[in-house]
Homo-oligomer: A and B are copies of this chain.
Amino acid sequence: MKLATLNNGTRDGLLVVVSQDLTRCTEAARIAPTLQAALDDWATVAPKLEVLCESLAHDAVPSLRFHEHLALSPLPRAYQWADGSAYVNHVELVRRARGAEMPASFWSDPLIYQGGSDSFLAPRAPIRMADEAWGIDMEGEIAVIVDDVPMGASVEEAAAAIRLVMLVNDVSLRGLIPAELGKGFGFFQSKPSSAFSPVAVTPDELGEAWDGGKVHLPLCVDLNGQPFGRAEAGVDMTFDFPTLIAHAAKTRPLCAGSVIGSGTVSNKLDGGPGKPVDQGGVGYSCIAEIRMIETIETGGPKTPFLRFGDTVRIEMRDKAGHSIFGAIEQTVERHEH
Contacts and interface: CB of A to CB of B under 8 A. Distances in A.
A80 B116 CA distance: 6
Interface string A287-304: 000000000000000000
Contacts of A116: 80, 82, 114, 252
A115 interface: yes
B173 A251 contact: yes
A213 interface: no
Query: How many identical subunits does the complex contain?
Result: 2
Nearest to A253: B119
A258 B186 contact: no
A77 interface: yes
Interface in A245-267: 247-248, 250-255, 257-258
A252 B186 contact: no
A151 B128 CA distance: 10
* Chain A, interface residues (CB within 8 Å), range: 35 or more
Given A111-B183, A192-B252, A251-B192, A78 B77 contact: no
B187 A186 contact: yes
A244 to B, nearest CB: 11
A62 interface: no
B189 A119 contact: no
Nearest to A247: B189
Contact of A193 (B114, B129, B252): B252
A79 B192 CA distance: 14
